[in-house]
A and B are shown apart, each in its own frame.
Chain A
């Protein structure tokens, strides 16, 4: 809300300077933004917190600074002696929507432009001026915080009823727009039609014009929740609705009505009738118990007992001081003060946070565990960074076109900001490929990236921790596979065994997957052209892997067992064999291990396909390391083992020694 120093000053008996005002508001944490400042005037703006509806008024702001210098509040003139006896019938359909409604007839008013003085006051605090009676109702709203409405009495039919709108009922509001209403909205109606959207905006059909002479003033107490719903429903947020949804005190309703009547009678003439009302008159004062001990403990400091007492009196409360506590009766307009903690905050704010000491808790040490997910994620990052991989962090919200890259049902936002960020990622792979594309376009020629992050599934709605890896460069597939195996071994998968499957997004070569404790834990593939074309990449240069981290959680931190280094030397033999071109290497290893020879390790060191060998053959050169735990192996033994391997290769795969 916008405020002017001169209006605030009108509410106080004592003189204060603009600088004092500014300093006090800053102490209260209200962060005033000053737009204009001279010796005599200051215009400023405050973003009022959601719980401080009372500050949406000059009066409320004045009340808030009173305690800083024990100032005296000066309420605006509002004494009215009705000279008419005319009443107007009022009805409330449901007092849960509208607790209290009051109105008053004024006849014989001169409607026209406002005086310069009034216009200046209003323009300083950001209101646009129109007819005098409307301007005055705005001024009273700014002064007291009470939203008011002025009807042309002669355009109302017989009576006022506060009711829910009917289905398909329409109302043209003062801004000239026709609004379609439904039962969620509350309207003010006469005998035949809706004449205002209650608490939000008046209707054009009962608007005051220059021809108007007779008025009906409205001042009411609508339920915050109803106005908020109605305002959300119609998409109409006004100065009035903002105040109603934060809550208004019952006392303010009558102050507002009388103040507006007083101003109209004094500035635009006319004769006023008595207040006509309906509804209940809610008791708005509350008594809150504040224990001195609690105050001391929560703030961690001793505040002199006189300070809270004087503070609450200055804030307009009644205070009863007991031996160890205060009983504070809080006025209705301070709706934010609901319980003990609220009073403690009030004491702290006026005492100043700066004066509260700084200390560390004296606490019993009770170890608090960290969550395994956090430790897992950080451990995984360390393993990969050690291997030369670069961490990236992608967005969870991705373009709708990526839908086709997710294997399972995806999750969409109900209210996205744009189509390019309307889907929740169902895999890390497309995001990683996009990062590769982005960096390729900027001249980076080889990339090894990973992301550890959450992916989201739609059926049922759930989320999962995933590790994605992408490599771009020469020999991408095999380089990644090597790191992936290393990662899995370091993560506690004792033996990495790959299965070949056809999979979603993979190229014709298919995909390899690895299980751990019966659950799939990792998969790697060369992405197919559909996805690589989309991200403008050559699929021979790219490979991707996805690892599900949940199953690894338990093993990652298990201490590795000690194994003594071997005492006897190892022997190595190299083999170069021609295999059928589609040989399954995992089977080859399996067959060698099944010979039950003292084999320690098998590794491939060269692969050849080309003109020097038949077209349906692949040459694989590999070494086998033999070692016996209890003795040194003899050359004869090694020769025997080698023959057995060559024989088995021939028998199972038609593998022949390369000539």
Chain B
């Protein structure tokens, strides 16, 4: 539209607005009407922006017309919002009940609780830690000194030029905090938000959540790691789930392993979700690296420990068959209401 047809447009808006407001029965429809006509990107706003680009000789006249329109629309809204709504009366028992309002937990909370509950049953305490971490806790204490090539495994957001403050890339720094605070033996899980400099797509999000586990004691072994995690996977995904451990590499565990479960979608037959392998990688784990123990002043000859980290979004996606990680932070109510 250009400024020449602006006057016609004003008349058109007046007529349409009048008709539509009479059809707007309740407050929310009136609000929709308001956004359409008076909103930030509403029809009035379009005219106002046009005004700025109109020729000088026509501007005063157009300005006046736009202003009149604005008053007209506001008056319409005021008049209608004063009129009382008709309440539903009478004794017709077939009319529907009033919509009930119920609260909902976010699917990430629901999934986290399901996961945490399984570990609490095995005697784990639940911890948290800050999102803003030091380079020391996020990397160095986890056996990744400055210039260690393994740091490339996590693309990091920094909060200062020196690179000493960052947004944690995993919940593993909570391991360091817990070990400094407690005396073995202990077992804890930690839940929290993590950050990686990954572009947002269907399976990557720069902001995501993890559940971390750590158990330290005198004779904790790889066999125990297997026992605990197989129990966890079968409790969460069903007793028939097969659980597979393969060697992997993390700087802060030795030996390290990756855990896969038989695909929850196709039960191991092969489907697109599992890239036709029948297996889904679900978590990373291992025995605490002696260097990590040394960094927090534990004697690796006296203690051993097991540790694991699980992505909460990924787990929720597998549990519910959610296909896109972006749903979690978008908070579309139509999505949230699926998981009550």
Contact = CB atoms under 8 A, between A and B. Distances in A.
B332 A390 contact: no
Nearest to A291: B301
A421 interface: yes
A236 to B, nearest CB: 15
Given A225-B147, A447-B333, A363 B221 contact: no
B131 A396 contact: yes
A631 interface: no
A659 interface: no
B331 interface: yes
Nearest to B120: A370
Contact of A341 (B35, B131, B191, B289): B289
A413 B158 CA distance: 6
Contact of A417 (B206, B224, B333): B206
B40 A395 contact: no
Interface of B, secondary structure class, is mixed
B123 A421 contact: no
A366 B159 contact: no
Contacts of A294: 301
A46 to B, nearest CB: 12
A438 B126 contact: no
A389 interface: yes
Given A361-B224, A390-B103, A461-B159, A442 B332 contact: yes
Contacts of B224: 300, 359-361
Contact of A245 (B123, B149, B254): B149
B298 interface: no
B207 A385 contact: no
B28 interface: yes
Contacts of B222: 298-301, 348, 353, 356
Contacts of A456: 131-132
B128 A297 contact: no
B248 interface: yes
A388 B101 contact: yes
Contacts of B157: 413-416
A526 to B, nearest CB: 15
Interface stretch (B64-72, B105-113, B265-273): B105-113
Nearest to B42: A536
A497 interface: no
Interface string B187-198: 110010101010
Interface stretch (B1-9, B15-23, B48-56, B255-263): B255-263
Interface in A356-391: 356-361, 363-371, 373-375, 378, 381, 384-391
Given A228-B147, A298-B222, A463 B130 contact: yes
A444 B147 contact: no
B160 interface: yes
B65 to A, nearest CB: 23
Contact of B152 (A26, A50, A385, A534): A50
B287 interface: yes
Nearest to B166: A414
Interface string B84-111: 0000000000000000011111101100
B110 to A, nearest CB: 9
A364 B185 contact: yes
A278 interface: no
B8 to A, nearest CB: 26
Interface string A465-481: 00000000110000000
A394 B28 contact: no
Most A C-beta atoms less than 10 A away, residue of B29, B127, B222, B301: B222
Most B C-beta atoms less than 10 A away, residue of A52, A344, A415: A415
A371 B149 contact: no
B187 A368 contact: yes
Contacts of A387: 103
A392 interface: yes
Interface string A262-303: 000000000000000000000000000000001001111100
Interface in B224-273: 224, 226-228, 230-231, 244-249, 251, 254-258
B268 to A, nearest CB: 16
A404 interface: no
Given A390-B336, A391-B105, A456-B132, 18 more contacts: A29-B247, A50-B152, A299-B222, A356-B223, A360-B228, A365-B123, A368-B123, A381-B105, A385-B103, A391-B109, A392-B106, A396-B207, A412-B159, A415-B158, A442-B334, A461-B165, A536-B35, A538-B34
23 contacts: A26-B246, A29-B248, A50-B148, A246-B149, A299-B255, A341-B289, A348-B255, A353-B246, A369-B125, A385-B104, A392-B336, A394-B329, A396-B131, A396-B195, A396-B207, A413-B159, A438-B332, A439-B331, A439-B333, A444-B333, A449-B331, A463-B130, A473-B27
Interface of A: 26-29, 31, 49-52, 224-225, 228-229, 245-246, 294, 297-301, 339-342, 344-345, 348-349, 353-354, 356-361, 363-371, 373-375, 378, 381, 384-397, 411-417, 421, 435, 438-440, 442, 444-449, 454, 456, 461-463, 473-474, 533-534, 536, 538, 541
